[in-house]
C-alpha cells in the first residue's frame, strides 16, 4: 500500500468527510489536515499544545487577516495605478469589511466545522468572518502564499470586486452622518442602552437624536453595530440633504 493510501485509510469517517468538504471549498487537496482542524477550534474548547499554548482559530485568524490584506493591496495597486494611498486604503477596507467577510463565511457555511463548548446559537455574527480569515491562515501554512492568492481571487476578487461599484459604496453610515452634522453644525447624540429582553444573547438599542429629536433607532448584539444601524436609517431619512 502506498504512503498516501495509508494516510487516507487511517482517517476516520468524520475526518474523511471533513477532508472532502474542505477540498470542495478550497478547490485543491489539503495536505496538513491538522492545520485546517485548528482553524475551526473555538477558544471555549480550551485545547492546548504540548507546550501549553492555547490552540484555537484566533492565531490563524490574525495570520489570515494579514495575508488577505496583502493580496487585496497587491491587486488594487496593480488594478488602479492612478489611486493614491488614501484611495487604495479606503478601497481595501471596503473589500475586507467585517460585514463582507461575515457574508463570505456564511455563504461557505464554515460554522458547521466549528468545534465549541458553546452553543452555536450564542455565537456573534463576526465568527463567520473570523473563521474565513483563519481558513486563509491555514491555507498559507499548508500551501503557501500562491495558494492563498488563488483562493482569495476565486472567493472574493472575481465574484465580488467591481471597482466602480466599490467607489460608491458607503462603509460607515455613522461616520458619514457625523461628518454631515458637523459640517451643518447640527447637534447629534447616540443614546445607547441595554435591551436584552427575552434574548439569550446580550443586545443593545440606540436612539439617534438630531437637534434633541429622535430620528432613528437601532438594535444589535454590539453597541457599534446598533449605532451603525441607526445611522444607516438616519442617512436614508436625510439622504437628499446629506447628498
Exposure string (b/e) for 36-73, b if CB count within 10 Å is 16 or more? bbbbbbbeeeeeeeeeeeebbbbebbebbbebbeebbb
Ranges 97-101, 146-150, 165-169: which has the least confidence? 165-169
Residue 3 is predicted with a pLDDT of: 46
Q: Is the pLDDT of residue 5 over 90?
A: no
Helix (H) or strand (E) holding 60, with range, is helix 57-79
Specify the CATH class of 173-242 in words: alpha beta
Distance CA 5, CA 49 (A): 28
Structural domain spans, the chain: 3-167, 173-242
Q: Tens digit of pLDDT for each residue in 132-165? A: 999 999 999 999 999 999 999 999 999 988 888 8
| Statement: the pTM of the whole predicted model exceeds 0.75 | no
Residue 234 is predicted with a pLDDT of: 92
Residue 26 is predicted with a pLDDT of: 94
Mean pLDDT for the chain? Answer: 89
- The β-bridge relationship of strands 213-220 and 204-210 is antiparallel
Which whole number is the average pLDDT over 171-187?
89
Question: Residues 17, 50, 51, 65: which is the catalytic one?
Answer: 65
Q: Is the pLDDT of residue 9 over 70?
A: no
Q: Tens digit of pLDDT for each residue in 212-238? A: 999 999 998 888 889 989 999 998 899
Tell me, what DSSP letter sits at residue 154?
I
Residue 165 is predicted with a pLDDT of: 80
Give the total residue count for the chain: 243
Does residue 46 or residue 200 have the better pLDDT? 46
Of all residues in the chain, what percent carry a pLDDT higher than 70? 94
Q: Is the pLDDT of residue 4 over 80?
A: no
- Give whichever of 47-56, 112-121, 135-144 has the largest mean pLDDT: 135-144
Told to judge if 133 belongs to the known catalytic residues of this protein, a careful annotator would answer: yes
CATH topology of domain 3-167: Ribonuclease iii, N-terminal Endonuclease Domain; Chain A (1.10.1520)
SS3 208: strand
Backbone angles phi, psi at 180, to 5 degrees: -65, -45
Beta bridge partners of 104: none
Question: Residues 15, 16, 133, 187: which is the catalytic one?
Answer: 133
Q: Tens digit of pLDDT for each residue in 68-97? A: 999 999 999 999 999 899 889 989 988 998
Amino acid at each position: 500500500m502506498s504512503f498516501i493510501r495509508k494516510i487516507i485509510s487511517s482517517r476516520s469517517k468524520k475526518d474523511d468527510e471533513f477532508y472532502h468538504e474542505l477540498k470542495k471549498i478550497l478547490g485543491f487537496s489539503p495536505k496538513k489536515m491538522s492545520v485546517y482542524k485548528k482553524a475551526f477550534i473555538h477558544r471555549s474548547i480550551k485545547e492546548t499544545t504540548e507546550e501549553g499554548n492555547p490552540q484555537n482559530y484566533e492565531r490563524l485568524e490574525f495570520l489570515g487577516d494579514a495575508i488577505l490584506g496583502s493580496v487585496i493591496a497587491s491587486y488594487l495597486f496593480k488594478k488602479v495605478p492612478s489611486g493614491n494611498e488614501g484611495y487604495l486604503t479606503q478601497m481595501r477596507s471596503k473589500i475586507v469589511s467585517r460585514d463582507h467577510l461575515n457574508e463570505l463565511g456564511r455563504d461557505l457555511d464554515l460554522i458547521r466545522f466549528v468545534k465549541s463548548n458553546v452553543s452555536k446559537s450564542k455565537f456573534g455574527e463576526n465568527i463567520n468572518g473570523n473563521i474565513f480569515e483563519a481558513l486563509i491562515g491555514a491555507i498559507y501554512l499548508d500551501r503557501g502564499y500562491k495558494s492563498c492568492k488563488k483562493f482569495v481571487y476565486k472567493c472574493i476578487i472575481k465574484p465580488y470586486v467591481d471597482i466602480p461599484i466599490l467607489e460608491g459604496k458607503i462603509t460607515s453610515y455613522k461616520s458619514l452622518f457625523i461628518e454631515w452634522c458637523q459640517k451643518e453644525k447640527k447637534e447629534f447624540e447616540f443614546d445607547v442602552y441595554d435591551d436584552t429582553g427575552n434574548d439569550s444573547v446580550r443586545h443593545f438599542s440606540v436612539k439617534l437624536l438630531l437637534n434633541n429629536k429622535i430620528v432613528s433607532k437601532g438594535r444589535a448584539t454590539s453597541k457599534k453595530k446598533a449605532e451603525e444601524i441607526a445611522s444607516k436609517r438616519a442617512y436614508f431619512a436625510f439622504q437628499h440633504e446629506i447628498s
